[in-house]
Chains A and B, each alone.
Chain A
Amino acid sequence: MCLFGLFILACKKDNPIKEEIEKFLGFQKPANFPEPIYNLANNPVTKEGFELGRALFYEPRLSRNNTITCGSCHIQSSAFTQHGHDVSHGIDDRLGTRNSPPIMNLAWSKAFMWGGGVFDLDLQPITPITTHEEMDENLENVLNKIRALPKYTAMFKGAFGTEEVTTARFMKALSQFMVMCVSSNSKYDKVMRKESGTTFTADEQAGYVLFKDKCASCHSEPLFTDGSFRNNGLGISTINDKGLYGATLIETDKYKFKVPSLRNLQYTAPYMHDGRFLSLAGVLEHYNSEVQATPNLDPVLNQNGKLGIGLNDDQKAKLTAFLNTLNDTEFINNKLLSEQ
């Protein structure tokens, strides 16, 4: 009787998962999001393509000595960042110079990397694969390693019709996985979509008003970044990372970095391009009192002769309450996005 009961229970537990897989819906734009920038028409997300992309994302053969996967520095439980590392920790314990950015809502991103230089999601993976401190491999070797595995040739056939492993197919599969990493189910989203009567608390609401007044010009809703590159007044680092300038050689791009999204801050510390701030309190204090007038400082941080954004303790507390509504537990626990 007991055994029978267990069996029923096991079946019940299995069925919803099965159903979920069967009704793979592909890429779905959240109701409160704008149209995506990524050209989905050129690479429609299919179940097979997505699953291939996911397998590749968690595939250590993408690195020189088969030790590092994309997921090594982009960990789902940390909203696809490398929590606890100021700069990314790659192959042979080498350290990069920048903090792993989240793989999140990339379908709405028009430029990639903290310092720019990459403008097409389909070309982005070449950077970590070939970077000395990350995977230190070359693409030709990666494709040859993948071609040698029947598991993958079968998956390429399922996704693209034949077993042929090409650069374009490899990149498109990875993009299919990455564009599916959509974070849109935070409390904020539910409030905005008026889902099941979700509302902000008084502090969250007060924080939202403050946010719109003091932060939204760069961290614009609903993605909480306008996708631009700006100098937010960080003191120049010891390695003198010049940000966007490194890619454009344009003097006015010096010290500009990509404006990061404020979504999932609870999981993505430390903060800034070099992970210099360990906590949100550190970030808010930077804007309150530590902004420096380095070249190309964003004008919004230098108003009426005053540097930064004045924030008292009460305002900081309310802003923090609001920012915490941007955490999306469904995203970091979504089994579909996990290593299988």
Chain B
Amino acid sequence: MGSFRDVQLSDTLEIPLLNTVEVRNIRPIRQVPKGPTPFKLPKLLDALYVLLPLFAFFLWAISLQHVPVQNLNGLGLISGLSPRIIIALVILTISFGLALQQPQMKVSILALHLIFVIIILYGTQNLIEEAPRFATVYRHAGYTEYIMRTGTVDPNLDTYFSWPGFFVLSAFVTQVAGYQSILSYAGWAPVFNNLIYFGPMYMIFNSSTTNKRLIWLGLWFFYLNNWIGQDYFSPQGLNFFLYLVIIAMLLKWFKIPPKAQPQEQRQRRQSRVRFPQLVSRFIDWLGTPDPFCLALQPWQRRALLASLLLVYGLVVSSHPLTPFFALLSVTALVVLRRCRPFWLPIVMAIMTAAWILIMAQPFLVGHLNLVIGTLGDFGGNVSSNVTSRATQGNPQHQFIALLRIIMSAFIWSLAFLGGVRRLRKGYKGTTYVLLAVAPFALIVAQNYGGEMFLRIFLFALPLMAFFAASLFYSKHTLVIRKTSTWMTAAIIAMSLVLLGGFFFTRYGNEGVDYITYAEFDGVQYLYSIAPPHSLLIAAWNGSPWQYKDYEKYKCESLYDRLPDAVIHTKVGEVVRFIESQGHPHTYLIFTRGQKAYETIYSGLPDDTLDRFENGLLASGDFKLIYRNPDAQILLFLGSVERHGSTKGGGS
């Protein structure tokens, strides 16, 4: 079943439920006429569908140097993106739609399109920007550098040291690969992650249908919708892959076979009498068996289960949130008799609890309120995840936030319609609907710093993309004798709409997220002059710092501590705060990223940080010791007076 090769006409059969009622609904299969093959793909067309993506890739490659990233506004990368890059993606999209609708679909050609779209959509930022993008990556570099330098972790230092699996792996790989820091290769993480997401998603989709067109369109929709941006160099980026692998393994090899179904159905019929018709139909739907149950030898099953638990071991040790998504989905599948063994969620829950109670105890002790404080606060969690995000920032950023909500609702609506269409055609797809909706349960549990909704969107996205693709392919026909021009046009149009949305939703934060060499130079200079145990203060969020010597400096952001003092230039409050910290040396850093953050995300006037910086210098308590176009460093003179002379000079 489902070998990965070029698809012949007979491979487009999508087998519906193994249920007599459903089977009766299948229309008779039309015979493929013999004789000359009227729909054999001419070699010219084959060549065209190879040349078109190659041309698009070439066009994209030669357009990369024409992106003025320094002048991005609140709309993000789209405000500076070369039209030729957009044209290249449009060509790729049209070419994919046409190739997908060919009577004799070539998997190799579709794979070529998919690889190119992943490289273009997720690699462009790394190629056109200067230093590795996104300030958080630098903090992750700091965690990794700490492990590389000390060979240990300190859970009291940072939350992530209670879940260090990903950073231990990073430290190990970085060292044996001969790098000094993850910053040498971290920029390619989005491309790498999205490439490896392909495998488990293909397995998941392939466990539901043999219709290769549906599978490839589902994959295509996923990549045009993955705007969340959690695929950067981060534990969650890797853990999403591991989550998909766990689900793929369950769906591929551990489904409960339909042969047990008649007895269960009879039992359900007996108990159903009490329920209204709608409830009975829902219970029936929940009990519908899945097609495609692969027979495995017992030893193979045991080996695969051991592998699944090994993979889950990495999930549990590397991220606080992903284990709960995995646990929720696996529990839903097992409790509702979609997969086995019954003890799997129990073992997974024990593994999760053991890690939290033993290894992450230092985090729990200090942050229990953070963990359970928003438990059950559905309204508050939704508000902090949706409403507040859409009302923050300058008007352009608010537009981006609104567009993200609209595009999320759009793909979910498409998925709903696709699911309904499948249902009407006789494909109940219970397992896959469960997986699409299970992540939403976590909105009740936590707001996760206002990011829970983003994570839910991500974990639901593969199945949402699959159901959205089902809107276009849901027929029970064995072959496509003549492709519909309207269908081809609809697929291309829908892909272009999603692509258009992606330009804004994915790249909308780029004005803040890109890092210039100059601002990273400034940060490096700060670390070269600041003695250990200094207090380093960022005037606002968005600095590429903490990339090394994580435990040697105390780092604070006035965005978190004294936002009002920054907005209204209250120098006295800042001085009192610094003196209360009691550090021998204190440095303030201003960067381009901070100024973009305060303008775009915080919606403040764009001269707020400049006024604050001037106010600090005018007070006489601070001295400018470093300046370049994108970074300024101020030394707090009170520390010099208390502790004598200090290092640092101008540049």
| A and B bind | no
Residues of B within 8 A of A (CB): none
B-binding residues in A (CB < 8 A) = none
